[in-house]
């Protein structure tokens, strides 16, 4: 018996060393960012067997063989077919960082900036839902809808009713919802109502366990967009939920969101991205051809910037860094989940130290213990560098925006955490038009008035236990 126990102990010990060494080599050979690599190695050392399983499930951006093949084949089919006539852009009219930023994003995504657009920012859930219903009621050809979360019930039933009326007018409705985020919707009464009348509803990023299927639970489609007849597009942070009921028991208050309503040629680009991902997800060719591009509706120069694990690594992160390093006067950030990582942290600190006013607004309460403490672990170094941090107390501020010098902005679904920057399928609208950026800046200024500044002296007085928890969570923050 003693010999058997000793054998099992030796087997466990050798298994531990072989697993840690083997998985560590695999991690190192992936050439991930240093912080991410070290965090995974720490997890493998502390939890070797569990850590190895977690790495295989969550450590690599594996999209599945069949999906990757479809994506490679279709990536530019729709984007190249966008019927836009793009006049030369006089970049002297825009921020000095605008032209190199636009070139960088066009290199990554293949999508050029386009002018002639009009943007309206809608700031409350009732107003967003009413605007969606009004535009769906005017649909004549199709409605394309994409959300991370669609929670059935409440005010969202107005959208279901509008879609039913649209189908009665022979409008084609296609809906793409994240398989995990919208799991409550599938099988719900609204789902049955819509599928019964012929609405196509696809699960984005379905979970599979076999190699040719998407096998990572945390690679999610985090986009939120609606396109109606290529006449109007909506995009932003708002999930299709009724904030009065959504996560009401989470103790963080109602979720605060903004959606942008866009008219003009950029709508075609939003629609092209939807069509591209629809065909990647379901593998079927859409029957209707792209209609002609809409006429100019305003003067805003916009660039559609989809990001995700299927495009160049850190694509949206690099764009953000490019803009922050080009800031001259101010950088204003609003994000619900703030775990910036080393590159963004250094960019913000450098900007503050060279005299740029850097402001970060985050919710006072968030719905994740790990994210809350990981976020707090960055506060001290940022405050010491001169970055202003404020906490919003009137609900879970879910808007995601970065405004540079009140003349250049990022708006959409990207949180300033490594999950959004690396893993999720996201959608950003880069705004180069100063008057439109200033509209967004007013929204952020209103948030600031309802926020409390974090003072460095007070922050230093928090408990030793809080600091310890933050530092522990910081070690694995690259993985959150």
Q: Which of 398, 417, 433, 474 is catalytic?
A: 398
Nearest by Cα to 444 from 339, 276, 331, 347: 331
Reported as a single tens digit per residue, the pLDDT across 1-44 is: 566 666 676 776 777 777 777 777 777 777 666 667 777 777 77
Reported as a single tens digit per residue, the pLDDT across 238-247 is: 999 999 888 8
Query: pTM of the entire structure?
Result: 0.87
Q: Is 455 a catalytic residue?
A: no
Q: Is 474 a catalytic residue?
A: no
Indicate if the pLDDT at residue 75 is higher than 80: no
Reported as a single tens digit per residue, the pLDDT across 378-434 is: 999 999 999 999 999 999 999 999 999 999 999 999 999 877 887 789 999 999 999
- Distance from C-alpha of 344 to C-alpha of 350, rounded to nearest angstrom: 10
Indicate if the pLDDT at residue 212 is higher than 50: no
Reported as a single tens digit per residue, the pLDDT across 98-107 is: 999 999 999 8
Band of residue 313 on the pLDDT scale cut at 50, 70, 90: low
Q: What are phi and psi of 167, to 5 degrees?
A: -60, -35
Three-state DSSP state, 113 = coil
For the chain, give percent helix, strand, coil, nearest 5: 45, 20, 35
- Please report the pLDDT score of residue 294 as a whole number: 77
Indicate if the pLDDT at residue 357 is higher than 50: yes
Three-state DSSP state, 364 = coil
Q: How many separate helices (H) and strands (E) can be counted in the chain?
A: 18, 19
Q: Is 400 a catalytic residue?
A: yes
| 8 Cβ contact partners less than 8 Å away, ≥ 6 residues apart | none
| 366 Cβ contact partners less than 8 Å away, ≥ 6 residues apart | 252, 336, 337, 372, 375, 396
- Please report the pLDDT score of residue 404 as a whole number: 98
- Distance from C-alpha of 331 to C-alpha of 344, rounded to nearest angstrom: 12
Indicate if the pLDDT at residue 72 is higher than 60: no
Q: Which residue has the higher pLDDT, 34 or 319?
A: 319
Q: For residue 463, count other CB atoms closer than 10 A to its CB.
A: 8
Indicate if the pLDDT at residue 220 is higher than 80: yes
Indicate if the pLDDT at residue 210 is higher than 70: no
Q: Which of 95, 144, 222, 373 is catalytic?
A: 222
- Please report the pLDDT score of residue 191 as a whole number: 96
Which contiguous run of DSSP H or E holds residue 358? strand 357-363
Query: How is residue 399 annotated by DSSP?
Result: -
Q: What are phi and psi of 128, to 5 degrees?
A: -65, -50
Q: Which residue has the higher pLDDT, 143 or 8?
A: 143
Q: For residue 455, count other CB atoms closer than 10 A to its CB.
A: 11
pLDDT cut 90: percent of the chain above it? 57
Beta carbons of 31 and 2 less than 8 angstroms apart: no
- Please report the pLDDT score of residue 308 as a whole number: 81
Q: Which residue has the higher pLDDT, 335 or 468?
A: 335
Q: Which of 405, 417, 433, 474 is catalytic?
A: 405
Q: Which of 135, 178, 229, 433 is catalytic?
A: 229
Across-strand partners of 144? Answer: 174, 227
Intra-chain end-to-end CA distance of the chain, in Å: 44
Three-state DSSP state, 187 = coil
Nearest by Cα to 258 from 98, 407, 128, 408: 128
Reported as a single tens digit per residue, the pLDDT across 123-138 is: 999 999 999 999 999 9
Reported as a single tens digit per residue, the pLDDT across 145-200 is: 999 999 999 999 999 999 999 999 999 999 999 999 999 999 899 999 999 999 99
Across-strand partners of 401? Answer: 334, 411
Q: Which of 400, 417, 433, 474 is catalytic?
A: 400
**452 alpha-carbon distance from chain centroid:** 26
Q: What are phi and psi of 311, to 5 degrees?
A: -115, -175
Q: What is the DSSP string of 217-261?
A: TT--B---EEEETTTEEEEES--BS-TTTTTTTSSS-SEE--EEE
- Please report the pLDDT score of residue 371 as a whole number: 85
Mean pLDDT of 437-450: 97
- Distance from C-alpha of 129 to C-alpha of 240, rounded to nearest angstrom: 8
Q: Which of 95, 224, 349, 373 is catalytic?
A: 224
Indicate if the pLDDT at residue 281 is higher than 60: yes
Q: Is 224 a catalytic residue?
A: yes
Beta carbons of 377 and 371 less than 8 angstroms apart: no
Q: Is 405 a catalytic residue?
A: yes
Q: What is the mean pLDDT of the chain?
A: 86
- Please report the pLDDT score of residue 211 as a whole number: 43
């Amino acid at each position: 018996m003693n010999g058997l126990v000793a054998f099992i102990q030796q087997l466990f010990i050798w298994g531990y060393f072989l697993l840690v060494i083997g998985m560590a080599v695999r991690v190192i050979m992936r050439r991930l960012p240093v912080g991410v690599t070290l965090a995974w190695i720490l997890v493998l050392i502390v939890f070797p067997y569990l850590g190895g399983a977690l790495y295989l499930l969550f450590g690599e951006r594996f999209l599945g063989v069949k999906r990757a093949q479809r994506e490679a084949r279709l990536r530019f089919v729709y984007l190249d077919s966008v019927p836009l006539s793009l006049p030369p852009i006089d970049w002297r009219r825009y921020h000095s960082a605008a032209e190199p930023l636009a070139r960088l994003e066009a290199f990554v995504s293949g999508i050029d900036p386009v002018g002639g657009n009009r943007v309206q920012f809608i700031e409350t859930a009732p107003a967003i839902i009413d605007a969606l219903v009004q535009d769906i009621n005017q649909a004549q050809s199709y409605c394309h809808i994409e959300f991370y979360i669609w929670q059935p019930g409440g005010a969202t039933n107005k959208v279901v009713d509008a879609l039913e009326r649209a189908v009665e007018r022979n409008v084609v409705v296609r809906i793409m919802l994240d398989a995990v985020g919208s799991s409550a919707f599938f099988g719900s009464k609204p789902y049955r109502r819509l599928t019964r009348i012929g609405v196509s509803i696809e699960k984005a990023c379905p979970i599979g366990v076999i190699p040719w299927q998407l096998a990572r639970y945390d690679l999610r489609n985090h986009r939120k967009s609606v396109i109606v007849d290529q006449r109007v597009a909506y995009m932003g942070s708002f999930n299709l939920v009724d904030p009065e009921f959504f996560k009401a028991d989470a103790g963080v208050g109602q979720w605060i969101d903004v959606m942008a309503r866009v008219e003009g040629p950029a709508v075609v680009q939003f629609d092209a991205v939807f069509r591209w991902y629809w065909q990647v997800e379901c593998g079927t060719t859409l029957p209707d051809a792209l209609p002609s591009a809409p006429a100019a509706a305003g003067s805003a120069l916009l660039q559609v910037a989809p990001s995700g694990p299927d495009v160049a690594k850190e694509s949206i992160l690099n764009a953000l860094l490019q803009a922050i390093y080009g800031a001259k006067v101010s950088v204003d950030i609003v994000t619900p989940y703030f775990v910036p990582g080393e590159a963004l942290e250094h960019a913000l600190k450098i900007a503050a130290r060279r005299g740029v006013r850097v402001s970060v607004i985050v919710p006072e309460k968030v719905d994740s213990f790990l994210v809350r403490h990981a976020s707090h672990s960055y506060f001290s170094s940022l405050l010491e560098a001169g970055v202003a941090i404020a906490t919003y107390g009137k609900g879970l501020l879910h808007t995601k925006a970065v405004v540079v010098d009140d003349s250049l902005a990022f708006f959409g679904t990207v949180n300033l955490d490594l999950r959004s920057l690396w893993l999720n399928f996201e959608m950003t609208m880069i705004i180069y038009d100063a008057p439109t950026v200033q509209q967004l800046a007013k929204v952020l200024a209103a948030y600031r008035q309802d926020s409390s500044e974090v003072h460095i002296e007070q922050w230093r007085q928090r408990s030793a236990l809080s600091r310890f928890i933050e530092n522990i969570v910081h070690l694995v923050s690259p993985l959150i």
